[in-house]
Amino acid sequence: MAQLIWNGLFVGSFYALVALGYSMVYGIIKLLNFAHGDLYMLGAFSGFALLGTFGAVPGGSLAALFVVLVLTMLVSGLSGVALERVAYRPLRGAPRLSLLITAVGASFALEYGVRIIAGPNPRVYPVRLDGTAVSVLGARITVQQLVLMVVAVGLMVALNALVMRSRQGRAMRAIALDPKACLMMGIDVDAVISRTFFIGSALAGAAGVMAGAYYGKIDFLMGFIIGLKAFTAAVIGGIGNLKGTMLGGLVLGLLESFSTDWFGGEWRDVFAFGFLILFLTVRPTGLLGARVTERV
């Protein structure tokens, strides 16, 4: 039981990091950015390229990984800003269906752009985090797992502090409530939205590097399934609610861990998405989401 809980929390922390970008963007401009999972994939490949250079940094693989993690967050964050500027900003006043179709097109563009550059075959990560496991309350935990978990939780705590306690966070929350009023109050709405994309994309890129280093293999389609899982986590927790999204990621990770043990790995996704359907019939707004009235 303890091992299943630990495995679920560990995987759920990755889901939560990626889902936060979904939730932030939706909460501010009501856009489902279906290309967000591919920014996770782009982060993994950026880390792969950078580790080819920094993999031999003195101090070992963890030191190299932390250096690359910061650089990758910068690369993936800027990629998210470019995506918003080129694909989404010109269509911000268009019908939402146009934005959704554009997001799907951007997802394919990122996937097959990376395929052209890096090739279709999976790549083995230059740094692999594995080590001797220790038993804690019946669960086998490695130091590397614990470090990645602490990094993921630290990033989520920092994001929550930024949104809830900083001037930038107040601007984000104000735009989520009424972007037109924010314009009249002198807030640079476009700049705040760009920063939101940067933060969400940087978190996705960090998750991509950590997943590549832990699992040891990446491919150009890895962002598709994680994008669906992150969207599911955001919906379970209450899309647009940061704490709910974090909780949703952990809940999804636990669901997958227990379903794999009960039914086998082939039923993992069936169980997770089936639970989502049943859950939404009972609580459509998610665990911590609030029912809102659409303005006209």
Task: Report the alpha-carbon distance of residue 37 to residue 20 in Å, rounded.
Answer: 11
Residue 164: what pLDDT? 86
pLDDT the model gives residue 57: 46
- What's residue 54's pLDDT? 63
Residue 56: what pLDDT? 46
Predicted local distance difference test score (pLDDT) of residue 109: 92
Cβ neighbourhood burial of 275 (10 Å; 0-12, 13-18, 19+):
middle
Q: What are the residues facing 64 on neighbouring strands?
A: none
pLDDT less than 50: residues of the chain? 56-60, 292-296
pLDDT at 128: 66
* Cα–Cα distance for residue pair 291/252, rounded to 1 Å: 22
What integer pLDDT is reported at residue 129 of this predicted model? 64
